[in-house]
Amino acid sequence: MKTAIVKTASLTALVSSMALVGLSTAAYADTAAPAAPAAAPTPALPTFPSLGGVLTADPKPFSFDAGPVGNVYITGVASGLVQTQTNRVAGVASSQTDISNAQVFLNKTDGLIQFSAELGSYSLPALGVPYIKGEKVLPATYGAFSQGFIKIAPTDSFNIQVGKLPTLIGDEYTFSFENMNIQRGLLWGQEPAVSRGIQANYTAGPLALSGAFTDGYYSNKYNTVSLNAIYTMDPANIFAFSGQGHTGGFTNVSSAATPILQNNGQIYNLIYTHTSGPWTFQPYLQYNSVPSLSQLGTHSVSATGAAVLASYKFNDNFNLPVRLEYISSTGKPSNPADPSLLYGAGSKAWSFTITPTYQYKIFFVRGELSFVGINKGVVGSEFGANGDKKNQVTGLLETGVMF
């Protein structure tokens, strides 16, 4: 089930046994039988990285005893894709093949000190932007150690994580295998993905809270606060609110992982998840704003978006996810001080994506067809070699194993 709270690793579940003490006969009333030894705690199965889509992890993951460290799980994903796209930008091939994931995950899920790590190669397919192969994505974004943290868990209801953290923002995760769809959506393009810092998590009944102090959009400047609150009304209805804001000053970092405008702004989400039989519905709203930045000579702008993610489960092997989005931004193309958050100042766009998915045990294959339409844009910032095309169609086929 996809909610923002799933972006943090779940708390450890411990199982213990009570020993029974045997009673002697009357002749030996002063000699009770010795207590049976307590059973060893059972480590919780790994839940990092999160799976918020329709692919499922191996229910019997490989683990080994690491001596004083304890039990460690080793899981992973290996997948490749074929992609083709209309109205591509200049210099990008219309069709490509690539390794979309070659990652290994390490998890220690019990005890006071726990840890999680994500290692390997990946690409980041997303709507409305050129596809970049994994060999170029790694050095430009989060590296081969993309996510990982030490977790201090003094109780079942409270823990602290320190390291490279999955974001608390949005309803889609960073890597293709984690999501309903292969490509992340237009709203995801406004969101942070990985942040370095510290995060605290607390649960009390149906309420789960998380707060983090991080470097925002991976800027390596620690000046961003994130909050996330989840209320589980019942198993079929979950409500979430998340927000992130720059705490002050100007961060002049700009990279493929750090959009300078969004990194200096704020972003908020309202997310609702409803399940009913084979159906899962996840509508959500998003608002992000950027203040006036005298250092860049830009005015304040904002973007407002809405999306619905839905999936129908035909059986244990076949799912049909779809996604529908709309996003609009403020600003006037005629004013050079109004920056672009989308396809030029004041641009608006929508998208539709369908991703039939088949999984048999650890093997999966899924196809995808997506359409992005620009309702309002600025020539030079749109699709095509000259930036003057109003739409883009993308087709993908991804297959692999989750072990």
Quick one: tokens of 361? 């045990």
Backbone angles phi, psi at 188, to 5 degrees: -60, -30
Would you call 256 exposed, middle or buried from its count of C-beta atoms within 10 A (0-12, 13-18, 19+)?
middle
Task: Give burial (CB, 10 Å; 0-12/13-18/19+) of 333.
Answer: middle
Q: Determine contact, residues 214/247, Cβ cutoff 8 Å.
A: no
CA-to-CA distance for 295 and 93, rounded, in angstroms?
Answer: 36
| pLDDT of the residue at 122 | 98
Q: Is the separation of the CB atoms in 323 and 181 below 8 Å?
A: yes
The rounded distance, in Å, linking the Cα atoms of 353 and 19 is 55
Closest C-alpha to 195, from 223, 214, 222? 214
Res 90: pLDDT: 86
Q: What is the pLDDT of residue 71?
A: 95
Q: Where are the domains of the chain?
A: 4-10+23-402
Within 141-286, where are the H helices? Answer: 260-263
In whole angstroms, what is the distance from residue 370 CA to residue 100 CA? 18
Amino acid at 183: Q
pLDDT, position 9 = 36
* CA–CA gap between residue 210 and residue 228 (Å, rounded): 5
Neighbours of 361 (CB within 10 A): 12
pLDDT reported for residue 138: 96
- Cα separations (Å) of 71 from 41, 46, 64, 148, 278? 11, 11, 6, 17, 35
Q: In the prediction, which pLDDT does 40 show?
A: 54
What phi and psi, each to the nearest 5 degrees, are found at residue 121? Answer: -105, 155
**pTM of the shown model:** 0.88
List, for the chain, all residue ranges whose pLDDT scores fall below the cut of 70: 1-41
Measured in degrees and rounded to the nearest 5, phi and psi for residue 190 equal: -95, -10
Q: Where are the alpha helices (DSSP H) in 102-259?
A: 134-140
Nearest to 174 by CA among 325, 282, 332, 50: 50
pLDDT of residue 39: 53
Residue 323 CA, distance from chain mean position: 16
DSSP per position, 329-397? E---TT-TTS--SSSSTT-EEEEEEE--EEEETTEEEEEEEEEEEEEE--TTSSBTTTT-BSEEEEEEE
Please write the tens of the pLDDT for every residue from 98-155. 999 999 999 999 999 999 999 999 999 999 999 999 999 999 999 999 999 999 999 9
Q: Which CATH number fits domain 4-10+23-402: 1.25.40.10, 2.40.160.10, 3.40.50.740, 3.30.300.30?
A: 2.40.160.10
